[in-house]
Amino acid sequence: MSTHPAYRADVNAAGMRVGVVIGRFNEDITQRLLDAAVDTLRRCGAADDNIDVVWVPGAFEIPVVLEKLAINDQYDALIALGCVIRGDTPHFEFVANECARGCGSVARNHRIPVGFGLLTTDTWEQADARAGGMHGNKGEDAVLAAVETAGVLRQL
C-alpha cells in the first residue's frame, strides 16, 4: 500500500462550464457525436446553460476556436468533436495531425482538459461504428475523459 497521495475524481460535471467545438464536415457523423456529448454532459450533472456549442467548417478549424475559448478562462473543460475519413490523398494525415496537435497544445498551454473526440477512420462504416454503432460513441468518451480530468485538476 502506497503512502503517496492519490488524486482521483468522479465524473461529475455539476457546476462546470463546458465548451464543445465541432466540425461540420461529415455532419451526419459529427451530429451524432454532439448528441452523445451533450447527453453525457447532462447525465453527469451539467446544466444546459453551461454547455456552449460552436460549429466550425471542419477538423482543421477546431484548435483555433478551442484556443479562443480557452483564452477567455470561462470554461472548466473543452470538447473537440470531428470526423476525418481517409481519402485518396495525404490530406487526411495533414488535417488529423494538425487537429490533434492543436488540441493538445490548447490543453497544455491553458491547463484545461480537452476531450478529444476526433474520429480518424479509413471508411464511413468505421466512423459510423464509433458514432453510436458497435464501438460506442466517441463523443461520450471525450466528455467523460474531460470531465474527470477537470475534477482531478480541481484537486491539484
91 is catalytic: yes
Q: Catalytic pick from 4, 91, 110, 135? A: 91
Distance CA(116)–CA(145), nearest Å, equals 8
Give residue for cell 468505421. Answer: 126
Residue 81 to residues 2, 8, 12, 66, Cα–Cα distance (Å): 38, 25, 20, 11
DSSP class of residue 123 equals: S
**For 88, which DSSP code?**
S
Total count of residues recorded for the chain: 156
Q: Which residues are catalytic?
A: 91
